[in-house]
Structure 1
Amino acid sequence: MVSSVGPTLGERLARQRWPLLVVALCLCTLFSVGWLRYFERATSITYVPTAPGAWVEAEGLRQRVVEWYLADSLSGSDDGVPVTPDPGKVFLVAHLEVETLLPDTYCGGSVLVGEDEQLTADLLPSGLERPVPDDCPESGRGLTELVVQVPQTRTDAIKGVTMNDLETGVAWVLRPPA
């Protein structure tokens, strides 16, 4: 006798595997999209502007920008000849007030140009003696200098000095007092 109900779902899936394949592909797609969105949020940098002259604390360091200026050359070399930037660029010299809260804290930063371009500090020639040191004090407060080469065409787009907090993915954008 033939059943009037018809084949069960298990019997239909045993004969035709494509519905199971479609469900599996949908689940894989959903998982992949979710993972990519999480990865993008977890690894991208969020730029957060601060008030001019504000202190920011991250990763055992407090710092603020005291002043910055553009320079066509830097003095202080052993032979007395000024150091010049690469062609088409100028130096941005930023003086930062720093307070080291933990030992062996990395002191540095980059300069944010435009919406998302970070320019890192340049290695200055050895023997260049600047009036302000380019490293953090071992403990307590001090003044440090950040020197970055910026294209002359982008000097109007300078947003500030960034201080990255790797735990949160936030890059604080520091500016000198008005």
Structure 2
Amino acid sequence: MRRLIVVLGVLFLLLGIVSLSCATQTYLNAAGHQVTCMSAGSLDGQKRVTACTLAHDATYLNAKGHQVTCKKATHISFDAKGRVASCTLAHNANYLNARGHQVNCKQGASIVFDAKGNIDQCTLAHNANYLNARGHQVNCKQASRINFNEQGNIASCTLAHNANYLDARGHQVSCKANGGIQFDLKGNIIGCQK
């Protein structure tokens, strides 16, 4: 009997620990907004949440003041002012790159903003054309990851169609559809699937 009581006590203790680890916790971020996390979040020196796993879909602002609805049970991070720096989108949404062009980002995929609230990277919801630093259009494929540089020019994506671009020497490079492509800050191609 005594052994049964000890076993039950240990079992209840373990169950208590498990339930504590699954409990949600609510914090304030640096902007003063409540953030409900599935477990302990990363906190700054003033005990404000900087990152955690969201307990439910939640909407916060990025550095441009645009609403970003982030998906539950996924990671979110905030900048030093409490604005969304990155998360997983709960819905398809349009955000601006540094050139002021709209980028339609896919739900269920991560999005990253730069310090000014411009889109740095996301997964495209549809095929779309964006400019490289040379001013040439790049047709990027739906459901592929796209990255922009700080000027808002395309840095990389997956091509939707075969295309030709110039390298730093001015030579034309032929790239295949469905392959990745990368550009330097001047818009020169630095890599693609040939």
Q: Structures share a fold, TM > 0.5?
A: no
Give TM-score, length-normalised by structure 2.
0.28
Whose strand fraction is larger, Structure 1's or Structure 2's? Answer: 2
Higher alpha-carbon Rg: 1
Whose helix fraction is larger, Structure 1's or Structure 2's? Answer: 1
